[in-house]
Structure 1
Amino acid sequence: MFNLILRALDALTALFAPRGRHRAGHASPAPVHHREPRPGVHRAPGPYVTDTFLDGAATPPVRPYVLTTEQRARRRALWLATYGIDVGPRRIHGVEVG
């Protein structure tokens, strides 16, 4: 049994063994390039650069999702006002309505 397996493996290796011309030879080591570091390019600061920092306490912390319901109500009132339906606030976009 063991001899049969060895013969089968020998036949398979002879059948599927790579040819000598397709084998990769001994690879030479990759060349190492020693480059001198290039001098850095000095860039002028952009137009929005300032020396002062923003004060977070000076502005109220309002998130956009807080104002969406109010904005939706104003838009709905404006849309209904185009059809002559008077609903919502009396002042829309700073203009007195009704």
Structure 2
Amino acid sequence: MKDNFSNIINSATPVLIDFYADWCGPCKMLAPILKEVKDELGDTVKIIKIDVDKNQSLASRYQVRGVPTMLLFKEGKQLWRQSGVLQKQDIISTINSYT
């Protein structure tokens, strides 16, 4: 995942990374919200879910201390970061502000 991750975040299309854990209640609440975001925005954004328990080095590299934590990248640059659950419209507004 580490090598592939660099390729993913270097995209010209905004990439929303969702750092989550299977045991995390708020993460389970965020999953359907992110699906709705993807359904609404389509190909204007990529949404990638990363399990922090299976990708500890990646979570550590981005200093993810709590889940869920979302990071937005475009062309390899981190543009935005937020921990916790956000509503669909808040996420869409954030993504749209960087497209």
The structure with the greater share of residues assigned to strand is 2
The structure with the greater share of residues assigned to helix is 2
Query: Taking CA–CA contacts closer than 8 Å with sequence separation of 6 or more, which of the two structures ends up with the larger relative contact order?
Result: 2
> Of the two, which has the highest radius of gyration?
1
What is the TM-score with the length of structure 2 in the denominator? 0.20
What is the TM-score with the length of structure 1 in the denominator? 0.20
